[in-house]
A and B are shown apart, each in its own frame.
Chain A
Amino acid sequence: MFVLIVGAGRVGSSVARSMLSEGHEVSCLDEDPESHARLEIGLDQPWEDMGGHFTVGTALELDALTAAGIERADVFVASTDGDNTNIVISQLAKRRFNVPKVIARILDPYRAKWYAEQGLDTICPTRVAIDMLEQEIREAADRGAADRPQVGAVDHEDADV
């Protein structure tokens, strides 16, 4: 599959490397030329030598999207650091370029929820963090406050571990 990732930050570059190593064709678009270096973290060859593509350009520019190969993309990932940018370019990918699978990273849970309801595939890392934190706290609560060692008291239970 041809995967186009817009925004090669920590998330985008990491996904790009994984997908390339799993045998997919991967193209990254980022407005910062320096982000190319992030793609090569941990690689022993240059990104291009491994078959990866990298284009410098602004996500909203159709020329840049075209140069990065949006017209033949099977999957489009919007992972820039701007929620609104991701929301807008995902809709472009869907409605203008008919990319079959479009995924938008949206940090704001409320925007993510509403756009998900409108039919956009969204990933909300903030939501994931909230859910995980809440789950951890619930589990701790279920184990009961009785587990809490008294301050200054010898903690026999911990000593057993």
Chain B
Amino acid sequence: MGDRQYIIIVGAGKVGWNLARELIEKGSEVTVIESNRERYLTVEQELEHNIQYGDASELWVLERAGISRADMVIAVTGDDEDNILICQVAKEKYLVDRTIARVNNPRNRQHFDLLGIKPVVSATDLILRLIEHEVPEYGLVHLLDLPEQRLEIIEMELPADSRAAGTRVGDLAMPEGSLLISVLRDDSGFVPNAETVLQAGDEILAVLDPRVEEDLTAYFGPDGNSNSG
């Protein structure tokens, strides 16, 4: 019992409720806090003592829920200001190790970043990312972004007229700060060596500094009206 994770979830909307259900099933101790009386009464029929009624941006409500012993606080209300405040207070006042915040309006994401609230989850961003994956712009898809570490991993399909097609990996002049890590060809992937020759239609994975993304796209992109011999 003592080493069970204790998780506080703020907001008993669809996300909060389902999350609570899953986490309880996985054996975590969970308290949900919901400020809407009617919603609370609905969810309480199922979650019973695992839900409390109150406004979690009031510190005493968080204290009543036992925030000082919480391993994680997840703020998934429909209000970005509330999610920011709850995570900020959880982290900085009650020294909760881990917080997760939901971003409702993607334009507010920068506020979460500025105030050090992370990680964040944004349904809109996730869907946008999926769209990008299905319909990639410039054939480039972000697989992993670590903005603070200035690293990202991207996937890019070499177009038919890619200037890199037919080039030995050993002869590639990729931008400084980028590295080719694998090639996907004919439904299988492999780690290339210096002798590998790139082909049009290859999907390449590269790790790079985001600042050279454009150079990399240009390098592997179509030859266009380049004058190079």
- Which residues of A pack against B, CB within 8 Å? 60-62, 82-85, 87-88, 91-92, 95-96, 108, 110-111, 114, 118
Whether A91 and B115, one on each chain, are in contact in the complex, defined by CB atoms closer than 8 angstroms, is: yes
Enumerate chain A residues within 8 angstroms of B115, measured Cβ to Cβ.
88, 91, 95
Interface size class of B (residues with CB under 8 A): 20 to 34
List chain B residues, Cβ under 8 A from A96: 114
- B82-103 interface mask toward A, CB cutoff 8 Å, 1 = contact, 0 = none? 1011000100110000000000
Q: In whole Å, how far is B222's beta carbon from the nearest beta carbon of chain A?
A: 36
Contact of A87 among B58, B85, B114 (CB under 8 A): B85
**Candidates A83, A88, A108; contact of B111 at CB < 8 Å:** A88
14 interchain pairs (CB within 8 A)?
A62-B107, A82-B81, A83-B57, A84-B81, A87-B85, A88-B81, A88-B85, A92-B111, A95-B114, A96-B114, A110-B59, A111-B58, A111-B85, A118-B92
A60 in contact with B111 (CB, 8 Å): yes
8 Å CB contacts to A: which residues of B100-142?
105, 107-108, 110-111, 114-115
**Residue in A84, A111, A118 whose CB lies within 8 Å of B84:** A84
User: What CA separation (Å) do A114 and B85 show in the bound complex?
Assistant: 12
Given the complex, which residues of A lie within 8 Å of B85, measured CB to CB? 84, 87-88, 111
Q: Which residues of B contact A82 (CB under 8 A)?
A: 81
Q: Shortest Cβ distance from B88 into chain A, in angstroms?
A: 8
Given contacts A84-B82, A84-B85, A118-B92, contact A61 B59 (CB under 8 A): no
Q: Which of A62, A91, A92, A114 contacts B59 (CB 8 A)?
A: A114
Q: B48 an interface residue at 8 Å Cβ cutoff?
A: no
Chain B residue, CB-CB nearest to A87: B85
Q: How far is the CA of A85 from the CA of B80 in the complex (A)?
A: 9
Whose C-beta in chain B lies nearest to the C-beta of A60? B108
